[in-house]
């Protein structure tokens, strides 16, 4: 069972109090984009074995969305941060790099 801390209200609870919203930090494409870009935005998602960045909503609490970084293998939660953040905070990036040396970072913008 995952234990997540909502960065909006500070409550730590089991995952059943939250609802997963899929991959975080998706690059969005609008009406001016090509069909291929828009198709990728709609359907293509990463499914990593390891560090993953996800969207979660605190449905049985404050109701707000946030992001979580966790390991899909061990279920270790590295941290959570506000959904308005365009990329993981530097302190979280340093923590993940120290715990998963050699893990390859991707561009978030």
Interface contacts to Zn ion, rule CB under 5 A: 6, 8-9, 58, 61-62
CB of 15 to Zn ion, least distance (A): 13
CB of 29 to Zn ion, least distance (A): 30
Rg for the chain, CA atoms, rounded: 15
CB of 90 to Zn ion, least distance (A): 23
d(CA 33, CA 53): 25
For Zn ion, the closer CB: 50 or 82: 82
Beta bridge partners of 54: 23, 68
């Amino acid at each position: 069972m995952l234990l997540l801390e909502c960065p909006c209200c500070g409550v730590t609870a089991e995952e059943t109090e939250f609802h997963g919203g899929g991959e975080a930090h998706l690059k969005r494409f609008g009406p001016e984009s090509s069909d291929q870009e828009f198709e990728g935005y709609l359907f293509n998602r990463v499914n990593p074995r390891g560090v993953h960045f996800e969207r979660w909503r605190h449905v049985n609490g404050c109701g707000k969305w946030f992001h979580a970084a966790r390991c899909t293998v061990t279920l270790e939660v590295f941290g959570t941060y506000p959904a308005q953040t365009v990329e993981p905070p530097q302190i979280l990036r340093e923590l993940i790099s120290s715990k998963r040396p050699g893990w390859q970072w991707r561009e978030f913008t």
